Amino acid sequence: MAKYFDVHPDNPQRRTISSVTDSIRSGALVAYPTDSCYALGCQLGNRDGIDRIRAIRQLDDRHHFTLVCENFAQLGQFVQIDNDVFRAIKSATPGSYTFILPATREVPRQLLHPKKKTVGVRIPDHTVAQALLADLGEPLLSSTLLLPDEDEPLTQGWEIKERLDHVVDAVIDSGDCGTEPTTVIDFSGGEAEIVRRGAGDTSRFE
């Protein structure tokens, strides 16, 4: 049965956030709000968490997982970025974008696209997500909480708790969050390729 955490959207309670991050360090899979709908998240090296995300979303091994990072310094540890791409991404973060880039050796092999050796990264513009990342001190391995055969992501904490009670370990509810997944931009070939149009404005990459 999942724990339910009611978190203030503008001033997240420090003790509650610490309880969530303690759970994540202990292997928990959590549903948490971002600036572009809810996501499933676990610690970077949590193989069981990865398998559970794949099972919940029915994902194959070509799915790009996302490393949700607190800031640009953290993001830069996990992906290779040249100067032009750096400037393009820097101007769009934090925000509702996921960027696909070549991964560094810091990224576990099971997270990489099997052929491209790439991974998704993003920096969310969301107070609660940022509080979690700051307390955790490392990225959250994440995937949009979009269930199989459904067109819309889940956006209400109480509904997520009700529907995923026995497959996640915790749900963080801070009220309404975005209803659209991130815009996905693939920079792995050097040029911006729009893979998915979502919450982020694509005009700067066209």
Which structural domain range is residue 112 located in? 3-205
- Structural domains in the chain (count): 1
- Whether the bond between 94 and the residue before it is cis, its omega within 30 degrees of 0, is yes
Report pLDDT digits (tens) over 136-180. Answer: 999 999 999 999 988 888 888 999 999 999 999 999 999 888 788
Phi (first) and psi of residue 120, to 5 degrees = -90, 145
Q: What is the CATH number of the domain that holds 68?
A: 3.90.870.10
What pTM did the predictor assign?
Answer: 0.94
Say how far apart CA 27 and CA 36 lie, in whole Å. Answer: 24
- What sign has the CA pseudo-torsion 15, 19, 24, 30? negative
What are the distances in angstroms from CA 22 to CA 6, 17, 19, 43? 16, 9, 5, 11
Residues of the chain with pLDDT under 50: none
Say how far apart CA 40 and CA 60 lie, in whole Å. Answer: 16
